[in-house]
Amino acid sequence: MNRHTRLALLIALVVAAFALSLAAGKQWLPWAAWIGDDSRWAIVVELRVPRAILGAMLGAALGLSGAVLQGYLRNPLADPTVIGVSSCAALGAVASIVFGLGGMAGGLGQFGWAMAGAGGAMALLGLLTARAESPVIFVLAGTVLASLAGALTAFLISIAPNPYAVAEAIDWLMGALTDRGTNDVMLAAPFMVGGSLVLMTTGRALDALALGEDAARSLGANLARLRWTVVLGTGLAVGAGVAVTGVVGFVGLVVPHLLRPVFGARPSALLLPSALGGAALTLAADSLCRLAPGAGEVRLGVVMALIGAPFFLALLFREGGRQWR
Amino acid sequence: MALTLDAVTLDLGRRRVLDAVSASIAPGRVTVVLGPNGAGKTSLLRVAAGLVAPSAGAAAIGGDDIQRLPREVRARTIGYLPQQGDVAWNMIARDVIALGRLPYRDTNDASAIAAALAATDTETLADRRVGELSGGERARILLARVLAGEPQWLLADEPLASLDPAHQLDMLDRLRVVARGGAGVAVVLHDLAQAARIADDAILMAGGSIVAAGAAEEILTADRLGDLFGVRLATVPGYPICIPVERR
């Protein structure tokens, strides 16, 4: 089975997960309800289509940035959460919730604040690592940024003026696609698509980096430009994702690992598959969220970890680290 | 047309690792770079490969400053084999070798990759993962990666590290074949016996400066090498090599 066939299968999986995401919920919607005069059609168009589009984009952005970061840092543990983008975007959003700034600029407030958080994190990360092109510095700087943003977020929640703001902030932090609508899609899509396109350009340089920094330079890779490309692409794609859905972990870490046995360990060969795989995984997990018993929904971040972790552990057990060294 | 370093000074932070170094690497010959740890051998090679810009002076090929060459032109011209021979991911050996074609924006060049496989005798390893190869096999794959780029200059930093004696001889013989094919080859070595075996030219370094440079038979004498490393050397009758036996 060649790469094209595998990609085609992966695309089929995304389409199937998208369809499942339209059908699944407290109210199961059969095919018949998707077209024609069925009154349930509104549920599909108004609620589930935007939610599914957002889920697909979020998953693609997370999966892709995970693959790029693992390749860039040459570290199988890397994902968007370890470099601080998600935490800083979350800090921005929580600040807007706690201080009641969400309504600024016609409801753009929370999104804008989260994007500002992501942008600030990326600028700081880029500057901190500008003098030392070492992946260790990058990870250390990112980890410190993430811890700092986490502490500031906790601080903001603890000084929140009222319990409703606290509840809203904590609820938002857990990450979900619940009740996200067309507006959210329109807000986030340009950034997520733009960021993802930027990240897709990194393949050749990431491949060269597999041989180490000096060898990569000797093969003509421009490592300074690569660093800014990675920072910009991750900031836009993941920042916008976090800005509308909250923090959803695990996708970026786990998807490249799931796909390495299928598409090979070469970093560039993993970029497109990781975007597709991230979309499929997120859509499937979001469908499961809605199927949980009880009146409410389980949080996407929770479901992701619950289904992802055992699967990932099984993979580790079976592969025994064959894909990385 | 030689690859030359003209009064190259390199400061890393506050440390001067190269101090007004002038040297020349000739095409078609193997130039061995020798010196104690910290002498500046790797820095010399990195400047010559264009990986780092000198603080003063210039590295040039036929008078053209290497730092001013477009990245891809430089990458096609100079192949660099770094000291630590690691591949970050457990890739298929053939894919690793194909990375040598990146400067040509075409990693599917079957003939160049086949030639590199043949030159390193690695055809039977091509479909295995690098993590499953022995140290000697991996070293040959990484050499094949450089050769796949068909460079006019091949700069290798301690290519014998972690190789057993048979693989050391094998690696050096392959480098010599590359030089006989017309490329200029520079190798940093620590093994004096192997250095004497392969060197056409030699550069001796200490403390960021060049101590002596020239044709190997004039430079690699027991007296000079003994002084350079601070050891007493025994010579082997019948072979142009000497072996360190004790510290002086």
Cα–Cα dist B20/B43, whole Å: 13
Residues B197 and B214 sit within 8 Å (Cβ to Cβ): no
What is residue A322's predicted lDDT score, i.e. its pLDDT? 58
Q: CB B103 to CB A220 under 8 A?
A: yes
Q: Which residue of B has its CA nearest to A267?
A: B89
Question: Residue A309 CA to chain centroid, in angstroms?
Answer: 16
Is residue A129 very low, low, confident or very high in pLDDT (cuts 50, 70, 90)? Answer: confident
CA distance B89 to A309: 22
Residues of chain B with pLDDT under 70: none
Of B49, B131, B142, the CB nearest to A325: B131
Q: What is the pLDDT of residue A81?
A: 82
Q: What is the mean pLDDT of the segment spanning A37-42? A: 71
Please answer yes or no on whether A211 and B74 come within 8 Å at the CB atom.
no
Per-residue pLDDT of A41-79, as tens digits, reads 777 777 888 999 999 999 999 999 999 999 999 988 888
8 Å CB contact of A325 and B102? no
Measure A247 CA to nearest chain B CA, in Å: 28
Helix ranges (H only) for B9-120 are 41-48, 71-77, 93-98, 110-120
**Residue A95 one-letter amino acid:** A
Which helix (H) or strand (E) segment holds residue B138: the answer is helix B135-148
Cα B6–Cα B9–Cα B12 angle in degrees, nearest 5? 145
Please, which pLDDT band fits residue A165 given cuts at 50, 70 and 90? confident
pLDDT at site A290: 84
Is there a contact between A207 and B103 if contact means CB atoms under 8 Å apart? no
Q: Is residue B188 part of a domain?
A: yes
User: What percent of chain A has a predicted confidence (pLDDT) above 90?
Assistant: 43
Q: Is residue B245 part of a domain?
A: no
Query: Chain A residues with CB inside 8 Å of B142's CB?
Result: 211
Strand partners, B81: B156
Shortest Cα distance, chain A CAs vs residue B95, angstroms: 8
Domain span holding position B104: 3-214
B105 to chain A: closest CA residue: A204
Task: Measure Cα distances from A200 to A61, A266, A301, B72, B231 in Å.
Answer: 11, 14, 25, 20, 55
CATH number reported for the structural domain that contains residue A168 in this entry: 1.10.3470.10
Chain B contact set for A265 (CB, 8 A): 89-91, 129
Q: Enter the tokens of residue B104.
A: 């040509």
User: pLDDT value at position B108?
Assistant: 78
d(CA A206, CA A221): 9
Considering the entire predicted model, what is its pTM?
0.91
Burial of B105 from C-beta contacts in 10 A (0-12 / 13-18 / 19+): exposed
How many CA atoms lie within 13 Å of A11's alpha carbon, on the beta-carbon side?
Answer: 7
State whether residue A74 is helix, strand or coil. coil
CA distance B107 to A203: 12
Query: Per DSSP, what are the bridge partners of residue B187?
Result: B32, B156
ipTM comes to 0.92
Q: How many independent structural domains does chain B possess? A: 1
Cβ-nearest to A324 among B50, B90, B142: B90
Residue with tokens 């692409």: A233
Map residue A163 onto helix, strand or coil. helix
pLDDT at residue A324, as a whole number: 52
Which of A214, A260, A266 shows the shortest C-beta gap to B80?
A214
Mutate to test the interface with B, among A74, A211, A268 (most CBs of B within 10 A): A211
pLDDT tens digits for range A293-317:
777 778 888 888 787 788 778 877 7
B53, part of any domain:
yes
A272/chain B closest Cα distance in angstroms: 18
Collect all residues from B whose CB is shorter than 8 A from any CB in A: 46, 49-51, 71-72, 74-75, 78-82, 84, 86-92, 95-96, 99-100, 102-103, 105, 107, 129-131, 142, 145, 149
pLDDT for B199: 95
* Nearest CB to B84 within list A212, A322, A325: A212
**Distances in whole angstroms, Cα of residue B99 to Cα of each of A199, A209, A325, B143, B158:** 20, 10, 18, 12, 21
CA distance, residue B186 to nearest chain A CA (Å): 15
**Interchain pair B89, A212: CB under 8 A:** no
Q: How far apart are CA A258 and CA B114, in angstroms?
A: 31
Q: Would A325 be classed as within a structural domain?
A: no
CA–CA min distance A215, chain B (Å): 6
Range of the domain at A118: 3-319
Asked whether residue A107 carries a pLDDT value surpassing 60, the answer given is no
The tokens of A251 are what? 């996708």
Report yes or no on A324 lying in a domain. Answer: no
CA angle B222-B226-B229, nearest 5°? 140
Instruction: Look at residue A106 in the predicted model and tell me its pLDDT.
Output: 52
- Contact list in B for residue A260 (CB cut-off 8 A) is 89
Whichever domain contains B45, its CATH number is 3.40.50.300
pLDDT confidence of residue A104 = 57
Tell me, yes or no, whether B127 lies in a domain.
Answer: yes
The answer to whether the CB atoms of A210 and B72 lie below 8 A apart is no
How many domains, chain A? 1
CB B146 within 8 A of CB B100: yes
Q: Which residues, other chains included, contact B80 with Cβ-Cβ below 8 Å and sequence gap of 6+?
A: A214, A215, A218, B45, B46, B49, B51, B146, B155, B156, B157
| CB within 8 Å: A219 and B75 | yes
| pLDDT for residue A325 is more than 60 | no
CA separation for the pair B188, B41 (Å, rounded): 7
The answer to the question of residue B230 being in a domain is no
Q: Which residue of B has its CA nearest to A322?
A: B90
**Per-residue confidence (pLDDT) for residue A108, from 0 to 100:** 65
DSSP designation for A44? I
Report strand pairing: B3-12 vs B15-25.
antiparallel
Distance in angstroms (rounded) separating the CA atoms of residues B159 and B165: 12
Beta strands in B26-166 (DSSP E): 30-34, 56-61, 64-65, 78-81, 153-157
Question: What pLDDT does residue A36 have?
Answer: 63
Adjacent-strand bridge partners of B204: B34, B212
